[in-house]
Amino acid sequence: MQISNMAKDNTLAVITHLLGLISGFIGPLIVLFITADEQAKAHSKQALN
């Protein structure tokens, strides 16, 4: 069960990077402002950089 929680936590980070490839800076910027997950925010900042 712990592995599935880890995979669920990483899903938003992976989606953030994919949105960066597809939509430029708009996708990660939206994720940065909307999400409360600190790991996803860190990955969205990295995708914007």
Whole-number pLDDT of residue 1 = 47
Q: For helices 2-23 and 38-48, what crossing angle results, to 10°?
A: 30
47: number of Cβ within 10 Å: 20
Judge residue 30's burial from the number of C-beta atoms within 10 Å of its C-beta, 0-12 exposed, 13-18 middle, 19 or more buried: middle
Q: Where are the domains of the chain?
A: 10-48
pLDDT of residue 9: 75
Give the tens place of pLDDT for each residue, 35-47.
Answer: 998 998 999 999 9
Question: Which residues are CB-neighbours of 48 under 8 A, at least 6 positions away?
Answer: 20, 25, 28, 29, 32
- Residue ranges for the chain with pLDDT beneath 70: 1-8
Q: What pTM value is reported for the model? A: 0.75
